[in-house]
Amino acid sequence: MPSPNLHPMLNVAVKAARAAGAIINRAALDVEAVRISQKQVNDFVTEVDHASEAVIIETLLGAYPKHAIWAEESGKQHGNQGSDHIWIIDPLDGTTNFIHGFPVYCVSIALQVRGKMEQAVIYDPSRNDLFTATRGRGAYMNDRRLRVSKRIDLRQCLISTGFPFRPGDNFNNYLRMMADVMQRTAGLRRPGAAALDLAYVAAGFTDGFFETGLSPWDVAAGSLLVQEAGGLVGNFTGESDFLEHKECVAGSPKIYSQLVGIIGKYSKFATAGEKAEVRQQATLVAPDMTPSAALDNAPGEEDEGHAQR
């Protein structure tokens, strides 16, 4: 039943997310029967991803046939790609969790209008948790208004992240970054679905989040949730125009600034001096490595990471 308090476009997105969630929940009853294919090592896609995406696109274009679609599995094949209204969709964020029966995954739908996120829905079908946001109207979980955590001391904070998992990912660099954050916090968590991680920052369940290799559909909806809950989101150096940068950090304003201060030097947008500092640390941490191996493991433009889980 549509909510009279929601923006009409957000209502349509909620309808699409719930329809996708019903498909995911049915499949979760017999996950062993789900057909799985592999895009590359450790990067999976299932028939559920495709079915979820199809029902979302059908619902959105049924209501707004002139809008554009940018979806994880089908890319920019659907809708009117010249439109200034673009729906950015991840039909199942946390696919690897899903195929193992690990119940941390979600549907993510965002509407970008003339370059700005205007509507956001993240739906967790296993818990029936619905996160929504409209620019300027706040963020909600079910019917509860969300605010980011009030903690200001990083040592008391729970931070979520995602680990590199593909061949070619910069594992050693990520381990150094993780160690830098871990020793300054109350705990680090890796749930496995970036969109849900961002929703949890908005809800105050975690105090911050950082990850590399993320694609626009991983972070589009979650970024608006965080902002509408009073938080900040950007790339590792603190730039707010981060959607296609493949790195994301989020948190309450004070925790966000502390995280940027710690992990900014690991950004591919870091200054040459900051990158040199990381290279020097790499040599000190791993003196048995050759200089060329240490350089290979310093941050660089080649870092891609985990667009699809």
**Annotated binding-site residue? 92:** yes
Which two tokens mark 27? 């499949």
Alpha-carbon distance of 260 to 270, in angstroms, equals: 11
**Annotated binding-site residue? 301:** no
**Annotated binding-site residue? 239:** no
Cα→Cα distances 224→30, 108, 119, Å: 34, 12, 8
Instruction: Spell out where 135-217 has E strands.
Output: 138-141, 144-145, 158-161, 187-189, 208-212
**Annotated binding-site residue? 90:** yes
**Annotated binding-site residue? 225:** no
Cα→Cα distances 105→101, 191, 259, 276, Å: 10, 9, 25, 37
Cα→Cα distances 284→258, 265, 278, 281, 289, Å: 24, 16, 10, 5, 9
Report the binding-site residues: 72, 90, 92-93, 218
Q: Tell me the binding residues for Mg(2+).
A: 72, 90, 92-93, 218
